[in-house]
Structure 1
Amino acid sequence: MEILDCPDGVSRCASIVKQGGVVVFPTDTVYGIGCDPYSDSAVLRIFSIKGRQEDKPLPVLAASLQDAQKLVRLGKTGTLLAKKFWPGALTIVAPLADSKISAGVLAGKKSLAVRVPACSCTLQLLSLCKYLVGTSANPSGLPSPKTAQEVSLTGYDAILVDADALIGTASTIVDVTGPTLEITRQGAISAGDIQKAIR
């Protein structure tokens, strides 16, 4: 397992991802574990490393709103929220637009959770990878790590460490697949702020 520092190790980390590897990296919410969302074998490794049930879909991080719109159909509400809160701690579940995404990421669903993170280290990595599976780097059911030292997982290929990462609360998750918006996890962004944004 390689220990890489941000920003010097970003290009090495990106090449590991492109070769089908699994990496741990900082975000603006918690430390995440990720891989190429188009690689079935890498996605399966994430389920195995985390001990995560394979019927639970995985979120994908994108470098920009434009990139996210190639993955999902955000619609009017989703686009409004993305413009207001991205980059930032809002994950949006929307109907899938890119059928090449690994079936493991989707876990049988026709929707995908996407986010553009507000962490310069992650955005540098995404500028080279474009997309990354981005789920918390903890064994399923245990607290999410806020520092590299708190990452207790094993079996991944590299960890990207950023001493300057401002890590906070897990992202709020909203679902815009149905006729009305649904907040499925309350996180860093309040329900009140979300309602205000779409009003």
Structure 2
Amino acid sequence: MAAVASSFSRFSFRCAVCPSPLRVRFSQPHPPARLRVSSTVVALHKRNPKRLKYAAERQFTSLWWLGFARTKRGDAGLLRVEVEPSGGDFWKLDPIIDLINRGAVGVIPTDTVYSVVCDLSNNESIERLRRLKGIGDSKPLSILCRSLRDIDTYTTGFPQGTNQGQANIFRVVKRAIPGPYTFILPASKQFPKQCIKHGSSTRYAKRRQVGVRIPDDPICQAILQNLDEPLICTSVKYLSEDEWILDPVIIADLYEPLGLDFIVDGGPRIADPSTVVDMMGANPTVIRQGKGLKLDWMVAKDEEEDEAQSMFSFKSA
């Protein structure tokens, strides 16, 4: 009996010190409910890192006459967006598209120099653009087109050629665009009439001709392809000098006090405007030589004048 009692006591002591494995529980304690809720909230607010970064930079305030959203710089406001020509951050152009559709006047880069642009059909925006540049109603304005379809819509098109030997200019023009050329063509009925104001009176005049461009610039094309129609444009120059401004920082400093709404910063440009080709006459005539080369189917203005003078002399003789 003593031996049995001794073995039983040893067994009881062993069970007390080292319990049976069947009684051991390895389940981990649950984390506090507060931590689980916190992680869920973070997951719900997770967003695209690019959008999150851009949203932090866009500290918009309400605007004046049209209620735009723009960044605040001192007493005036100007939305300035820096974009890489490579196209990796073209998502930054979304607010620019919205501002243009609302009637804003701003500056964008092209394949030549910077241009002041606005909506083609917004007469109030066009009037603001003219006041900002200090140009009158008689100054012609060009349009930045998205494709040849826009040119066909707002002009009567390029000469197609005839059986009488007239050259088919349209075929050779397609090789030059997109590019640094402005072609002057007859305006079609779809081209909006020009709003001319004299004091309290307002009249609308039909535009007989218009300069059209399809720039070979990825930033400019990214903006145009997200719009419903072309943009009215004119090059950016110093207010008192006939010289182009190539630095977007200087453009912002000079034109912001005048009411410029936005600027797309695509880096400095070269002082080389577009080549202007007049398509209204018998021959495509270069009336301003710029970045675009004079092609073999174009004639210089001096050459056309010499040809006209020789024809006049021949008829007189």
Which band: TM-score by shorter chain?
Answer: 0.7 to 0.9
Higher relative contact order (CA 8 A, sep 6+): 1
Distance 1:81 1:150 in 2: 38
Q: 2:185 aligns with which of 94, 100, 105?
A: 94
Q: Secondary structure at the match of 1:33?
A: strand
Equivalent residue number for residue 3 of structure 1: 80
Whether 1:113 aligns to 2:113 is no
The verdict on how the C-alpha distance between 1:100 and 1:195 changes in structure 2, with shifts beyond 3 A counting, is closer
Distance 1:140 1:179 in 2: 37
Distance 1:131 1:78 in 2: 23
Deviation at 1:189, TM superposition (A): 1.8
The 5-angstrom pairing of residues 54-93 of structure 1 reads: 54-76=137-159, 79-93=170-184
Deviation at 1:100, TM superposition (A): 4.2
Distance 1:107 1:156 in 2: 26
- Structure 1: segments with no counterpart, 5+ residues: none
TM-score of the aligned structures, taking structure 1 as reference length = 0.87
Q: Secondary structure at the match of 2:220?
A: helix
Cα deviation 1:111-165 (Å, max 9, x = unaligned): 11000001100000000123111211223743112221231323111111123x7
Equivalent residue number for residue 134 of structure 1: 233
Native 8 Å contact 1:9 1:160 kept in 2? no
Deviation at 1:8, TM superposition (A): 3.1
Q: Which is further off, 134-143 or 103-112?
A: 103-112
Deviation at 1:173, TM superposition (A): 0.5
The verdict on how the C-alpha distance between 1:16 and 1:102 changes in structure 2, with shifts beyond 3 A counting, is farther
In angstroms, what is the RMSD of aligned CA positions? 2.5
Native 8 Å contact 1:58 1:113 kept in 2? yes
Deviation at 1:168, TM superposition (A): 5.4
Runs of 4 or more consecutive aligned structure 1 residues displaced over 4 Å after TM superposition: 104-108, 165-168
Q: Which amino acid aligns with 2:222?
A: Q
Q: Which amino acid aligns with 1:153?
A: Y
Native 8 Å contact 1:52 1:140 kept in 2? no
TM-score of the aligned structures, taking structure 2 as reference length = 0.56
- Structure 2: segments with no counterpart, 5+ residues: 1-77, 84-89, 160-167, 197-203, 300-317
Equivalent residue number for residue 194 of structure 2: 103
Q: Secondary structure at the match of 1:12?
A: helix
Q: 1:13 aligns with which of 81, 96, 110?
A: 96
Q: 1:171 aligns with which of 274, 278, 286?
A: 274
Deviation at 1:192, TM superposition (A): 4.5
Identity of aligned residues (%): 25
Native 8 Å contact 1:35 1:132 kept in 2? yes
